[in-house]
Amino acid sequence: MSIAPPALEVRNLSVAYREAPVLRGVNWRAPASGLTAIVGPNGAGKSTLLKAALGLVPRLAGEVRFFGQELRQARRRIGYLPQRASVDWDFPATALQVAAMGRYPRVGWFLPLPRAERERARAALAEVGMADFAGRQIGQLSGGQQQRVFLARALALEADLYLMDEPFAGVDAATERAIIDVLHRLGREGRAVIAVHHDLATAPQYFQHVCLLNGGVVAAGPMETTFTAENLSRTYGGRLSLLDEAALRPAAAPPAGRPLRAVP
């Protein structure tokens, strides 16, 4: 057992958007470092869990701690990567301007961005292979390139915990590779990454820990012991297609060419 406090601890968290609660009494301790996937069916409250933890949506009840601290004290150690579709990519901004937003906490209010900070943002773009696109309008980038710009902005924050909402949604294979390289480097550096992930086939390959979510936490822990067919069918309520128990039992990647996906 590690002595370090969990990167994210959620106690009795409940969130309701209109009438029906999306999250009911969620209790979860995310590991202090390494890559963790949040997996669950559509409408399970995966994105809501991240947003409620960050205070972006109001919570009905519950407490949230980052590294044992309140959000307010820990904010500088947290990096958020929103869903790509959550913003208007027609907005007049360049890739560099977006990446530079990750340096704003270092600059503070009211002051313009110093040249050194702009260079840090440029370096973050280079880390995701986007150095050549720094001056490009974001609206002219492909979906994968836009996602990389978002990742660069998150990296520019130099956080200890990253909360990523579907970082692999709608990206090309090259971008997926580039993102996973970055995630693994973050993991090696001892940082924590918590990502909402949709692809059950790649989850065991990419992540070391998993939190199976459907309104509440069904199971959470190391990938090998938690990502089992039994837990998955409890999470998805039997709504899995191609549920191949043989492929899942060793908790390894399913055989190539047989993607395992949840039925929406």
Partner 1 sequence: MMEALFQALTLSGGYNARVVALGCAAFGLAAGALGCFVLLRGRALIADAAAHATLPGLCLAFILAAGMGWNPRSLPLLMGGAAATAALGVLAAGALARGGRLRDDAAMALVISIGFGIGVALLSVVQSLPVGGQAGLSSFILGQAAGMSAADAWLIFWLALAALAAVAVLFRPLAVLCFDADFAAAAGLPVRWLDLALLGLMLAVTVAGLRAVGLILVVALMVVPAATARLSTERLSVMVPLAGLLGAFAAWMGAGLSAAAPSLPTGATIALVACALFLLALLFAPARGVVAFALRQRRLRQEAAMEARSA
Partner 2 sequence: MTLFLQLDFAALSAAVLACLACGLLGNLLLLTRQSLLGDAISHSVLPGLVMGFIVTGTRATLPMVLGAMAAAVLAALLISLIRRLARLEAGAAMGVVFSGMFALGLVLIEVSGARSVDLDVDCVLYGQLEALIWPAATGLSSLWDPVALADMPQETRTLAGVLALTLAGLALLWKELRLAAFDPDFAASIGFAPRGLSLVVLVLVSVACVAAFWAVGSILVIAALVAPAAIARLLTDDYRRQFLLSAAAAVLMGAGGYGAAILVPWLLGLGHGLNAAGMMAVVAGLLLALAWAFGPYGRVRRVSVA
Q: With respect to partner 1, which residue has the nearer C-beta, 25 or 143?
A: 25
CB of 85 to partner 2, least distance (A): 12
Among the listed residues 38, 260, 76, the one whose alpha carbon sits nearest the alpha carbon of residue 165: 38
Residue 90 touches partner 1, criterion: CB under 8 A: yes
* Binding positions for partner 1, 45-74, rule CB under 8 A: 60-62
Question: Which DSSP string do the residues of 147-184 spell out, in sequence order?
Answer: HHHHHHHHHHT--SEEEEE-TTTT--HHHHHHHHHHHH
The interface region with partner 1, picked from 18-26, 159-167, 180-188, 220-228 by CB under 8 A, is 18-26
- CB neighbour list of residue 114: distance below 8 Å, 6 or more residues apart: 107
Q: What are phi and psi of 58, to 5 degrees?
A: -70, 145
Residue 84, token pair as written in the block: 């790509």
Residue 113 touches partner 1, criterion: CB under 8 A: no
Residue 29 touches partner 1, criterion: CB under 8 A: no
Work out what residue 93 binds among partner 2, partner 1, none; the CB cut-off runs from 5 to 8 Å by kind: partner 2
Residue 134, token pair as written in the block: 């720094």
Q: With respect to partner 2, which residue has the nearer C-beta, 98 or 218?
A: 98
The residues that touch partner 1, with contacts defined as CB under 8 A, are 12, 14, 16, 19, 21, 24-25, 27, 60-62, 90
